[in-house]
Structure 1
Amino acid sequence: MGVTIYHGLHEGLRREAALLYWEAFGGKLGRVMGPEPLALDYFERVIRADLCFAALDGDGRLIGIAGYKIPGGSFAGGSWDDLTGIYGRFGGRWRGGLLWALGREVDNDRFLIDGISVTRAHRSKGIGSMLIAALCNEARERGYPAVRLDVVDTNWRARALYERHGFVAARSQRLGLLGYLFGFSAATTMVRPFSA
């Protein structure tokens, strides 16, 4: 199976990217961003095609996506207007407040990964590793000394993958009451520094 990693996302793949992102993160975001049809509409609307890497199979199907954040924006961030445009004034406001409480910072000192997703049928085939390599190369080209990501306590497979690629745990943060809404109780910040 030939896989190609592209910087950016073709406009015709936005819906597939939203589906893939939801497949990976819907279990954590479902109570806040659901129902699923609205969540998919939201992610299709806000995805920044210039702030990601896409993995396509030999037939041109999207099988993986990896987003990142920079001071000028993020792969799946969106705005208050995007939230209220999809969920209505009230629905957008309370969702925005919860997402803001979860954390929407940009790390100006380290390159910040904004989610890695691989289709279920293509996991454990090296695609996540290819996407991590692309992200790390992008970080180096932009002059960052390290890459940072956050992984939730329930995603042990992802944490093991990151550790294999040189990421080390820097700190863990418990969510408290927000954990009941998001479906996980803690997130660990992991960092991969680059050699001088």
Structure 2
Amino acid sequence: MSKPSGHIAQHGFPEDQRATVAALFWEAFKAKLGLLMRPEETALKFLTQVADPLHALCVLDEEGTLLGVAGFKTDTGSFVGGGLSDLAQAYGWLGALWRAVGLSLLERDLQPGVLTMDGIFVAPQARGMGIGTTLLQAIKTEAAAQGCHAVRLDVIDINPRAHALYDREGFVAQKTAQIGPLRHLFGFQSATEMRFALSPVADAARSP
């Protein structure tokens, strides 16, 4: 496994970093969401509004600059969620309705005891510094704290770099789903589910 950086992940993200969170999320996922969520200005407005710090871990440098974020999803919410009214506020009701249908196709059902990741990204100037590794290790710690036995994520075929990182960090590919004609909307052809199993020994040690 890769060694983590000297940085420490923390819960949430500063409120004054909302616009930065939105911009970095969009840069990381616009190839996947661009046709569905653009124009970019509107997408950034929506993302800035709905990003939820309660479902995020972040890494900041000593000056408070955001270096990376990992989001997750639980039965209480998700890092980038928002409802139909949030979409309507950004895109209008007509634009919100068809976008809601498209976004629903990307939704993954929650599974008992499994923490589902909801996006991970690193600022361009921080790549190669081990920030992604730090965030993934923090996600594993968060999953254990929530009593989960595994972490789940999905990686798309056009992101081999992320797939390689997850491999190094012990995530194991489970199944790959082809999306057929939807590839023209989302810009990728398949998504692979990967899982990291938390140590049963570590889980037992945390039990009262």
What fraction of aligned residue pairs are identical, expressed as a percent?
43
Aligned to 2:169: 165
Partner residue, 1:106: 110
Show the counterpart of 1:65. Answer: 69
**What's the secondary structure of 1:95's corresponding residue?**
helix
**Which residues of structure 2 form unaligned runs of 5+?**
201-208
Q: State the distance in 1 between where 2:16 and 2:87 align.
A: 22
2:129 paired with 1:135? no
Matched, 1:90 2:94: yes
The answer to whether residue 16 in structure 2 is matched with residue 12 in structure 1 is yes
Aligned-partner Cα distance in 2 for 1:18–1:91: 20
Size of the alignment, in residue pairs? 196
Superposed, which structure 2 residues align to 1:2-81 within 5 Å?
3-81=7-85
Q: Secondary structure at the match of 1:3?
A: coil
Q: Cα deviation per residue 1:41-66 (whole Å; 9 max; x = unaligned)? A: 11111111111011111211011011
Residues 1:144 and 2:148 are matched in the alignment = yes
Taking structure 1 as the reference length, the TM-score comes to 0.96
Q: CA deviation at 1:105?
A: 2.6
Contact 1:56–1:63 (Cα < 8 Å) also in 2: yes
What RMSD over aligned residues (CA atoms) do the two structures have, in Å? 1.3
| Letter matched to residue 49 of structure 2 | R
Q: Deviations over 1:21-49 (max 9, x none)?
A: 11111111010011111000111111111
Structure 2: how far apart are the matches of 1:20 and 1:103?
A: 21
Q: Determine the C-alpha separation between the residues in 2 that align with 1:93 and 1:107.
A: 27
Counterparts of 2:118 and 2:141, CA distance in 1: 15
Letter matched to residue 180 of structure 2: G
Q: Which has the larger radius of gyration?
A: 2
2:24–2:122 Cα contact (<8 Å) kept: yes
Following superposition, the deviation at residue 104 of structure 1 comes to: 4.3
Instruction: For residue 50 of structure 1, give the secondary structure of its aligned residue in structure 2.
Output: helix
After superposition, the C-alpha distances for 1:94-144 in whole angstroms (9 at most, x for unaligned) are 000011022243233310010000012211210000000110000001110
Alignment gaps of 5+ in structure 1: none
Q: Aligned with 1:116: secondary structure?
A: strand
